[in-house]
Structure 1
Amino acid sequence: MKKYHILSLFSVLALLVPCTNLVNVSAKTTTYNFFPTDNGPIDSSYSGTVTTIGDKPFLTLYAFNNNQFSLIRNRALAPKTAWFYDQTVSRNGEIYYRVATNEWIRFDEIEGFSGHHNRKNFEKKTITLRVGPVLPAPVFDGKFNDTGKTLAVGSEWVALEKPVYFGDDAYYQIGKDEFVAGERVINLY
């Protein structure tokens, strides 16, 4: 019986040893930023509501002129109140939400917010592509695997204007989950 326990212990250790090797893994990631780029342009792609914090008697407002913020001294927001915002901007590491015409509240004076994409900023323009004069163009799926389909030489296709990139290669979307390599097409208009 003791031999069995000792043998089992060595078997478990033998199984665990290969699991202790470190493996380097790298992956290309895409970051979608809800917050505006610091010192970037005013971002109107989100709108929603902000709720002011409740532990101050009033919350300060700022005016945005000449690409910088200044304190508004004759107006303030009440604590624990909700306000609609339609633009965000970041200056010197501080994020501001526009709650009225040229009245902004800083991120550190809100305790909650909700937001959604404004649809108007996501309109997708299309272009017409022609498959190059020499070889047909293979069609790839959304994971950039060859689907086995090809587009005929000289044929024209409507595609989304902005390509997506896989590695260094550009691909145009021509259908739902269908992409063609930019190197195989000519952008007509």
Structure 2
Amino acid sequence: MNKKKIVLASTLAILLAPAALNTLPTTQIVHADTQLIGTIRRGGAVAVDGNGHFINGAAFGNFTSWKLGQRITIGGNPYYEVATNEYVDASSMDITQNGKLLNPINNQISYINRVETVGSKAATIVNNNGAATGVTLPAGSAWKVDQVRYFNSYPYYRVATNEWVKALDFNVASSVNNDSQTVTTTPTAHQPITLRTNATLYNGNGVSLGTTLPKGSSWKVAQEKTINGHQYYQVATNEWVLATEDKNTSVFSKGTATVTLAKPVQLYDTSSNSMTRTLPAGSSWKVNATVENSAGYFFAKVSNNEWIPLGSSIFTDNVLQEELANSSAYEPYFAINLFK
């Protein structure tokens, strides 16, 4: 999807060395003379100040790139300075040095502190490499979780040293309770689909193949499948795309979508045209609409006047976040004051 760049304050000349992002102390400021570049991931980003407070007007469009300054930690998570006292969450960016990606999503860790309860089925434990250990957590049992990371694009919570459980295996929203359920149907006289973005290809288990189909291309659909509560269309042998990649398919076609926050998120309020209250990590909300503005930034509606900015990996279900973005109506002037 082509995105318009936005112009913000000038970036710093002080640059940061490539220290490990996943093993940071609770407070830290790092300076060095090596160059890091941060490219904003899909969904955009909003800057905070050194105390973690959101800054009105300091918003960054999709796929724009910035020289990174000092690194600090806020709530145990790394942030980089991109302008004077303006910091962006490391998880909102692809961070590179001399063209080498330093923070692939599967290696990123964010820090949390809460208790989660396993759903109606036993939950499989995987190790730090994403491999099943052969051990499960019993249905209904409660566990303290302290970190979040991704395996095969799905978020996992750490329940003990070298032990991780998929976030969807815990009690979250009812819309994702059938985590392991896969239903395949053969459509009757399904019309060809036309892709609204450069669409990621998945295999029959919903795992990314690492390739895409071009935006605007049309494909015949052989089958429909539901994996972990998400609808996919088969376009070739063992090649599937999210149904919402089709221009005529919306995640809201069957009603509202329920999202669960992986981290605290500040809301945009249309009545005051500003960022207002913050929703806590772990809370769930019904979304009945999403919009995209001319800066390429997405918002999800959770009440009459309140909208969640769809920053990087803010939901426990990363695929749902993609579906919400795909289903957005284009409102060029929505919250555009944040981008001036």
- Please state which band the TM-score falls in when normalised by the shorter chain: 0.3 to 0.5
Larger Rg: 1
Looking at secondary structure, tell me which structure has more strand per residue.
1
TM-score (norm 2): 0.22
TM-score (norm 1): 0.37
Looking at secondary structure, tell me which structure has more helix per residue.
1
